[in-house]
Amino acid sequence: MHQIERKVNQCRYAVDVVNDEMSSEVDIKIKQNDEIEKILREFQSLKSFGEVKVVKSNITMSRETSVSREPQAPLQEQSHINNMTINIDTKLEINMKNHITDMICLMDGRVIVVEKLGQVILLTSDGKLLKQLSISGKAFSVSKINKETIAVTYPYEKVIKIFNMENAKVTKVITLDKLCWGLSLSNNSLAVGLRNHEIRTIDFAGNTQKSIPV
């Protein structure tokens, strides 16, 4: 329409010039291209610009053991997990003096193991001893903070020690008011299990963000 209007204005201007010069009468007629109506009709009848296909395929899952967990508190809805199988990918024989209370796997395949109220040990991916990390005290739980930094709980010292494996130094000690046990990293904060049934979320300065009684 803009193109037609522009053409009409051009013709009108030409007519005005001609009329001024020749004083003749001019009749302007516009003929519409029939192809435009055809295209418009096709668009009006168009119901779809294409289609989306979703391909669903089945995966194989072996089913053997039946497991169900009952919640400690009643819930509105209860879910049950039935017939799950865990396949052991790798089995490592580790010569440890005490029970293992915690362990984590690093991105490069190395494994950090914590003996029960004992030492923090670094192993290769196939379970061979690399070194004993030089963190004094009786450790219980470990959590990875980043590639080379870990956090370890020391219950009877009531502290969490931040250890840098690259320079083999304790870079920070977070002091708590209770015995601390389990440890996990959660959204750049530390979630630690404390004595007397408490899970506490703290920042790396030791400030409490949330306390959950359990």
Q: Look at residue 202 and tell me whether its pLDDT is greater than 90.
A: yes
- For 11, residues 6+ apart whose C-beta sits below 8 A from its C-beta are 28
> Do residues 208 and 118 both lie within one domain?
yes
The mean predicted confidence, pLDDT, of the chain is 82
Same domain, 208 and 119: yes
CATH number at residue 168: 2.130.10.10
Residue 109 lies in a domain: yes
Residue 131 lies in domain: 100-213
- Report how many domains make up the chain: 2
Q: Is residue 58 part of a domain?
A: no
**Residue 108 and residue 6 share a domain:** no
Whether 15 is covered by a domain: the verdict is yes
What is the pLDDT, as a whole number, of residue 40? 75
**10 near 18, Cβ under 8 Å?**
no
Q: Are residues 109 and 24 in the same domain?
A: no
Same domain, residue pair 116 and 197: yes
Q: Is residue 74 part of a domain?
A: no
Minimum mean pLDDT range among 20-24, 98-102, 123-127, 134-138: 20-24
pLDDT of amino acid 6: 83
Segment 3-16, tens digit of pLDDT: 888 888 888 877 77
107 and 202 share one domain = yes
| Residue keyed to tokens 């670094």 | 122
Tell me what pLDDT residue 156 has: 94
Residue 76 has pLDDT above 70, yes or no: no
Give yes or no for residue 190 having a pLDDT over 80.
yes
Asked if residue 85 is part of any domain, the answer here is no
Asked if the structure places residue 165 within a domain, the reply is: yes
pLDDT tens track for 157-175: 999 999 998 899 999 999 9
pLDDT confidence tier of residue 178, bands split at 50, 70 and 90: very high
Contacts of 105 (CB under 8 A, 6+ apart): 111
